[in-house]
Amino acid sequence: MDGRAQTGLVCVSSIADYNEGIIKKHEFTRPEKEQDRINHITATRAQTGNVFLAYEDVPELNAEIDRWMQDNAPVYDFTADDGISHTVWVVDNVATVADITQLFSEKVPATYIADGHHRAASAALVHKADPNSSAYFLTTIFPASQLAILDYNRLVKDLNGLSKEQLISQLEYDF
């Protein structure tokens, strides 16, 4: 991605942390999009939608992750069709997992949803409706220093027979 590299932790995050505001939200969610995700989770009996979280850098945590990557071979290393390279390490040492967990517990007071508000909200709603369902949801967590905000623009190529004014009028209805 333009020579950039990002290293995140793929893990699960607690629905309790989401409900208690430890996982910070900055968007409202739409009920119809939540329902679509709820239906997916219910039908598959799995929470498969990854939520992208960010946290303020913790030097000790960055060092622990860097050390793991230097000392261990990746289990996957490939370039996808879009040209983006992916390298995956599995942290399977109980002591290292405990160290990372403790560092998060002690040094990361909050995480922030960068993408996936509807996926997180839906997982929480499924758990609320069925307390026997998973109390966690799939996340990938990145330190803030590795984030880059990219443009997310929409381009209208065809007015579908509408005038510019009619299109804007219809957009104003929803926005």
* 15 inside domain: yes
Contacts of 99 (CB under 8 A, 6+ apart): 64
Question: How much is the pLDDT for 94?
Answer: 97
Whether 123 maps to a domain, the answer reads: yes
Rounded to an integer, the average pLDDT of 31-46 is 94
Instruction: Answer whether residue 71 is part of any domain.
Output: yes
pLDDT score for 154 = 78
77-130 per-position pLDDT tens digit = 999 999 999 999 999 999 999 999 999 999 999 999 999 999 999 999 999 999
Total domains in the fold of the chain: 1
Residue 146 lies in a domain: yes
4 occurs within a structural domain: no
Quote the percentage of the chain above a pLDDT of 90. 78
What is the predicted pLDDT for the residue at 4? 82
Tell me what pLDDT residue 40 has.
94
Tell me 58's DSSP state. -
Q: What is the mean pLDDT of the chain?
A: 93
Domain contains 175: no
In a domain, 22, yes or no: yes
- pLDDT greater than 90 at residue 31: yes
Tokens read off for 36: 């679509």
Helix/strand/coil percent split, the chain, to 5: 40, 20, 40
Band (173; pLDDT cuts 50, 70, 90): confident
Q: Are 7 and 147 in contact (CB under 8 A)?
A: no
Residues 137/119, Cβ–Cβ less than 8 Å: yes
Residue type, 138: L
pLDDT of 166 strictly over 70: yes
Confidence of residue 30 (pLDDT cuts 50, 70, 90): very high
H or E element in which residue 79 lies: strand 76-79
Whether 65 maps to a domain, the answer reads: yes
pLDDT digits (tens, 9 = 90+) for 142-165: 999 988 877 778 788 888 899 999
Q: What is the pTM of this model?
A: 0.82
User: Within 10 A of 105 (CB to CB), how many other CB atoms are there?
Assistant: 9
- Structural domain including 78 reads 9-150
